[in-house]
Structure 1
Amino acid sequence: MHFDTLALQATHQHDPTTGAVVPPIHLSTTFERNEANELPGNYLYARPNNPNREALERSLATLEGGATGIAFSSGQAAIMTLFQALRPGDHVVLAHDGFYGTTSLLEDVFHPWGLTYTRVDMTNIDAVRSSIHENTRIVWVETPSNPTLAIVDLLTIARIAHDGGALCVCDNTWATPALQRPLDLNCDIVMHSTTKYLSGHSDVIGGALIFKRNDTFTQRIRQLQSVSGAVPSPFDCWLVMRGIKTLGVRVRAQTITAQAVAEFLDGHPMIERVNYPGLANHPDRQLIKQQMNGPGAMLSIQVTGGAEEALTVLGRLRLFRRATSLGGVESLIEHRASVEGPLSTTPPNLLRISIGLEHAEDLIGDLAQALTPGR
């Protein structure tokens, strides 16, 4: 099936009681036993499992081509649970350029606990290979990366990880399964912040892990999900399921606009650099075609003149919303280094842009006036 059809089929639930097309929200925290003290369904208490959460997990596994999915209360909760499944003394390799929250978890929470990690340029294959040790358990990949949109060769990195006895985990939040399926490229686990494109409306926090195999490591993470209680509410799961129905349509429209915006900015005298996988002069154009169905709706720009000029441009914008996060229907922009803090490796003149569903000409006009010198 094409992705749009798959997204609708994966989120369709038949309600045998009413025949409702839209599934009900099961808010109950507990489930009653019958006279023989037996549970009529598979549900005991809402922390271990819930009908809405199970439906979301099945949908995510279908979209990513995985064996099973596990949903969490946030993307950070998903990442944290994955690292909790490791042991003190284990080692993680992750990208030098990537979501700062992943590095913060490793540095502030797990490094004192005994987990070690190495940050490396994932586009440098030799550097990745030399960073894997006997105790490396996870190679964490993010492509396109946050916030410079570096492109990582998933097939090659997965092979290197497996040769070293490690799992390859890919943060697929930016690409979404509409554009990229890392499990098809030999990755073992996919992570999503479902807060972003999967829900798509900036109104729910959530996360997920999707697994290529339902093995003992997967079961350990499911146990940690239940024991730690880092689970999404039934309504949050329902909202993400609703968002998935329009994921393909939204990402396709947002990508078309992002392409137009990136092409306008590329070569602008006020812009030092445009980071966007869809540009014709992108050095990894062939790799992008091999592992992605499109360049996506995220881009970043580096403003000529440094941080001060970048903040000036940011303050002049009228249509873009100056806010953290991404993947919603509204276009967002932020000065990323200001958000990330002391562990940030982001250039100080970089602005990260999430393209929404506004008309491309309106967004380009807003950027044009904001970039006009002496305005």
Structure 2
Amino acid sequence: MRRRHAAATGIALLTALLLHSPAHAAAKVRKKHSAQALNPVAARLMSAGLADLNHGDLSAAISLFAHAARRQPSVQAYFLLGWAHYQRGFKSGAVESADRADAQSAVDAYAMALKRDPKLSELPDHSRLYFSLGLCEESLGAHVRALNAYKLALAAAPDRALIALNAARLRLKMKEPGRALSNARMALIKARAAGQEGELRAAAAGDPLFASLRAAPKIRAALGVDQTLIASANTMRDSDLRDSVGDGPRAVTAPRPASSMTLDIIARADEDAAYERYAEAARGYRAALISDQHRRALSAEQTASLWEKLGVADEKIGDDAPAVAALRRSLELAPGRAETRYRLALAYAASGRTSAALTEVRNAFAAASSNVDELRRYVLLSKTDLDLTAVRDLPGYRAAVAAAAPRIALR
């Protein structure tokens, strides 16, 4: 859908800029280092994994790269494994909504690559690893480590302006507005030097990833992003949203179909959530539910998804009791959704109800039990999520993980 494409614009653009290895870097690698001779089986596995990666079959690629790393541990195999996890984890295009299990798996794989060779001599472009590492660390809340990774990425590719712009975004998140402004100015200088000033301003004006920079007047002025450019970007996104729900051109006096009215409310609330305006998103999702009470346009599955979105938005703004209520309502309509079960566990944990949170962690494991990859993802999430720290201290949590271990063990 177009909206999904728009939401992922930032990551897609960054990936496009990072995928091409500078010629001088590749030449430097060939001159100074002879790459490790690859085991033929590991080479075939990596080749097949790259084919799956290029076709967008990320889960298959991850499986093949993991097998290659086990067959012959190498910098290349661990880098590709981390890169595939990063690609799968950041499908949404937003740091805050990245899949944390994939982000952690990418961090772990990159750590193995760096352990084998801290200089990454076998990689022609180190910035790809460091930049994606920074995004993954940021999504996990490790802001200092993320900033260090961005610095290393920029050192490896000093002409890539969007790396500096992401550093500015992170500095702002870390409550360092002065340094954020300095990084934004650096990004603009680099973009001008590379002939990419227009692309940088377009990203800063219209990409949800950089909403916080647009909201900072000094940074917005430094980047030359004015209200006209922002309004143009917003108009384009609104058009994409209308197209995504099938709401084509219409006369002003023509009545809108009930389904389109409800879906339009949801689409705008989704936009608020993408910009981290969770209070506005929650109001929008509630308005959509009220609208649908009169029109009955949504299926049971769509309504369950809407209640889940409302619960997530409420949890983001600290309204734990409404979040729990919304997520429970979602589960009444779709009791087998592992993601909703896990979200409910987080909401219970945030409100101090650790026993209830543990029950929902178990329920999430059970709901995902038929899919090994999904089960592994929720087990890993539960081990790393800060909101579940108290839950992990409960004996029942260790028993739940132990029960899932045979199913998720890599073979």
TM-score (norm 2): 0.25
More strand by share: 1
Q: Which has the larger radius of gyration?
A: 2
TM-score (norm 1): 0.27
More helix by share: 2
Q: Comparing both chains, which one has the higher relative contact order based on Cα–Cα distances under 8 Å and sequence gaps of 6 or more?
A: 1
